[in-house]
């Protein structure tokens, strides 16, 4: 499969890139700094998704079968990049005929209001008492702007008419790939609280061909 990995030098994007190459996929990496993924076997396209260049994005997507996006704010200066970058990415996908995209969101986003979902449910049906009452209220207060950006990114995906999936992992760690994790379509994983970035990257690849995840959010956890 020909894949374009966006934010390919980030925590999850870099692992998705490596796993996709190891699985034999033909991969193009979209990054701000191509030197960060320098390789003889990976095509790189320099794009700053905070200020996306439509022509460069279309070049990166030409001939691709699907997109894996780890796009998100790494610093306060990046707030808004998930929404703006994903909007530009979806526009370039429509222009080049690419329909499939898997993007990274976060477990609490189902309860974060956005222009497209101004009155979300107070609780995700998969969240246990500790998450509903303690963990997620604290995290949402700490990461308010970052989560607002991801919620608006999901709005962009819902309005895109593409075959999209937004993965919503809980707290991330840097443990090794296991390939053993749980997923739930349309809700968070009951009792889930942590997952490795490597397993999130693995899930991105695993669900690429799963129509049950098209137009859906997917919760995952160890």
> What is the spatial distance between Cα 163 and Cα 208, in angstroms, rounded to a whole number?
10
Determine how many CB atoms are found less than 10 A away from the CB of residue 103.
27
Determine how many CB atoms are found less than 10 A away from the CB of residue 186.
14
H or E element at residue 17: helix 11-22
pLDDT (0 to 100) of residue 128: 76
Flag the least confident range among 42-56, 110-124, 183-197.
42-56
Q: Place 196 in a pLDDT band, splitting at 50, 70 and 90.
A: very high
pLDDT (0 to 100) of residue 78: 80
pLDDT (0 to 100) of residue 123: 87
Mean pLDDT of the residues in the chain: 92
Across residues 125-142, what is the average pLDDT? 79
Across residues 12-32, what is the average pLDDT? 95
Q: Which two tokens stand for residue 144?
A: 């308010």
For 2-221, give the CATH class.
Answer: alpha beta
Which residue stretches of 23-169 are H helix? 54-61, 81-96, 129-130, 136-142, 144-158
pLDDT (0 to 100) of residue 74: 78
Q: What are the residue boundaries of the structural domains of the chain, listed by start?
A: 2-221
Q: Is the pLDDT of residue 38 over 80?
A: no
Tell me the torsion sign for CA atoms 51, 56, 60, 62. positive
Query: Does this model's pTM top 0.75?
Result: yes
Q: Place 127 in a pLDDT band, splitting at 50, 70 and 90.
A: confident
Q: Which two tokens stand for residue 87?
A: 């909007």
Q: Is the pLDDT of residue 195 over 90?
A: yes
pLDDT (0 to 100) of residue 59: 92
pLDDT (0 to 100) of residue 66: 98
pLDDT (0 to 100) of residue 105: 98
Per-residue pLDDT tens digits for 163-185: 999 999 999 999 999 999 999 99
Across residues 125-151, what is the average pLDDT? 84
Q: Place 124 in a pLDDT band, splitting at 50, 70 and 90.
A: confident
Per-residue pLDDT tens digits for 48-100: 888 888 899 999 999 999 999 999 987 777 888 999 999 999 999 999 999 99
Q: Is the pLDDT of residue 115 over 90?
A: yes
For residues 127 and 206, the model is more confident at 206
């Amino acid at each position: 499969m020909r894949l374009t990995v966006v934010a390919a030098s980030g925590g999850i994007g870099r692992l998705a890139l490596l796993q996709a190459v190891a699985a034999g996929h033909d991969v193009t990496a979209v990054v701000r700094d191509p030197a960060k993924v320098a390789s003889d076997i990976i095509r790189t396209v320099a794009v700053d998704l905070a200020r996306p260049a439509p022509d460069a994005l279309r070049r990166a997507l030409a001939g691709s079968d699907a997109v894996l996006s780890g796009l998100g704010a790494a610093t306060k200066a990046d707030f808004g990049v998930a929404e703006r970058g994903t909007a530009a990415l979806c526009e370039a996908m429509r222009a080049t005929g690419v329909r499939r995209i898997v993007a990274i969101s976060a477990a609490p986003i189902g309860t974060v209001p956005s222009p497209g979902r101004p009155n979300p449910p107070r609780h995700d049906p998969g969240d246990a008492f500790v998450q509903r009452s303690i963990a997620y209220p604290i995290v949402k207060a700490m990461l308010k702007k970052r989560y607002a950006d991801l919620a608006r990114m999901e709005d962009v995906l819902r309005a895109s008419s593409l075959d999209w999936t937004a993965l919503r992992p809980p707290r991330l760690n840097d443990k090794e790939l296991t390939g053993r994790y749980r997923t739930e379509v349309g809700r968070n994983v009951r009792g889930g609280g942590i997952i490795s970035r490597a397993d999130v990257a693995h899930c991105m690849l695993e669900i690429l061909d799963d129509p049950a995840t098209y137009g859906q959010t997917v919760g995952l956890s160890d």
